[in-house]
Chain A
């Protein structure tokens, strides 16, 4: 079997079209969703993420403003900026681009964002709600993975999903989302990681396999059972002199070999990547609606 490719670009486009319609409707009621982005320093990867968030916001007709701060900005100053965004009704969503310089506490900064405006879903209150199955903004990358599955006709309900990797931004929240009793979830979920003796013991059980370890070629064909749906969350930069940038992107899955066994597979790039920003836009629109309802 050769796997069908799930295109993140296409699913993302579909969702952005839906969002564009919703933003237009909201504007008629006088509500303009707004995203405030805080960028500290000049990390090129961060700048490129922030740019795509700004572009995506414009594309769906949302207001967006990026506040750029120098790398040596004191922590107190960052908190002041967030305080301003918390109070400013122009912004329904606030995002602090990570990583932050070492002298600034991520925990403190994230905890300072008003939970109602936390569109990354990383505020401890929202993380706690996610765990308990209460309504909350879903973290963007795992939410994007869920949408990719659901919209490609691979409803996780009743399936055994094996998540490789237990990061706070992908593995753990994805497990929490997929185990909820809700549409597009209700799955049996296993979380495996470097503490496991033999990862392939688990991956071979998967109906749906999620690779989120951050290691190129970590999932090889012998670790996958025939007909599995494979979602590759990994984004690894591999040095490549033939490219102008000096690198190429690769996922965590040995794509060429695994696609011969899988039923569905996502490519890197063009798989999960485009979904992350899209779900951020989704959260900002949702936050605008919630804030307006008071």
Chain B
């Protein structure tokens, strides 16, 4: 079987085209436009570049954009007050705080200040809870993007076995619940048990979010499986892949590598899609997932 390396740009392009078509259709029904609020604290160059990129994409689609720049010295109260202003502003249906926040701040409190109905990055605990209970909420953008990738690969999810190799589960835990909701059986491997290779070989969808570079070997893979390599960033030394790509590529049917950080181009596309969902919700329209 020829192995496919899934191409993020190709998948993103398809979703983007869908967003453009939906906006086109919406413009016939309403003269309002979707709006996205962004809160940036400090002047981290990577954060500013990411914000510019998000702004550019939103403007290109005709979204209303409201960016609030706060100094690195801003207090938690200052930031929450800005978030509350955006919560109340009906021109923005989605909003988020750009991460990372300065370390002196209580990130949890700030993320929880965002109105869960506008939390298009899916970071509020209520949206995590909704994912768990199977209710409609916002998926974190990178998890949403992985679900798109899996669907794009073209295999039905129902009845498949998904195995998540992950210590902390930042991405794979919510991803597992999203897969469970689509009727996959899911195994979480938070520990490196002796029979890990055996457990991996049961996987139709194998998700590697491990801090051990090159942990997963070719003979751990069920022939034809789909492999998602999340990797983890390690002390600015770049990204470490959890799989031995050369070996795994011989056995898997397709491999997708999630770029580091929360701001991959595909994740930004999903942010825009979530904002569009939020906009449609406030217009009282049905959501299309």
Contacts and interface: CB of A to CB of B under 8 A. Distances in A.
B133 interface: yes
A126 B133 CA distance: 11
Interface in A134-164: 134, 157-158, 160
B202 interface: yes
B133 A179 contact: no
Contact of B169 (A126, A133, A157): A133
A280 interface: no
Given A160-B199, A188-B199, A125 B184 contact: no
B177 interface: yes
Nearest to B182: A195
Given A172-B177, A196-B185, A128 B191 contact: no
Contact of A131 (B132, B183, B184): B132
Contacts of A180: 190
Interface SS of chain A: helix, strand, loop or mixed? mixed
Given A166-B180, A179-B169, A189 B128 contact: no
B173 to A, nearest CB: 6
B169 A160 contact: no
B128 A128 contact: yes
A193 B183 CA distance: 8
Interface string B190-216: 110101000100100000000000000
B125 interface: yes
Interface residues of A, number: 38
A205 interface: yes
A168 B159 CA distance: 20
A187 B185 contact: no
Contacts of B108: 134
A266 B124 CA distance: 38
B180 A191 contact: yes
A132 B132 CA distance: 11
Contact of A188 (B133, B168, B183, B190): B190
Contact of A128 (B126, B168, B185, B190): B126
B3 interface: no
Contact of A176 (B132, B167, B202): B132
Interface in B154-170: 158-159, 161, 167-169
Interface string A35-58: 000000000000000000000000
Interface in B103-134: 108, 124-134
Given A127-B128, A129-B125, A196-B159, 14 more contacts: A124-B135, A125-B126, A126-B129, A128-B132, A129-B128, A132-B125, A133-B168, A160-B193, A172-B180, A179-B173, A179-B190, A188-B191, A191-B180, A191-B185
14 contacts: A125-B129, A130-B132, A131-B132, A131-B173, A131-B177, A157-B191, A160-B193, A172-B132, A172-B180, A179-B173, A193-B185, A195-B158, A195-B183, A196-B159
Nearest 10 A-B pairs (CB), nearest first?
A: A195-B183, A128-B125, A124-B129, A128-B128, A127-B129, A128-B129, A190-B187, A179-B188, A192-B185, A189-B188
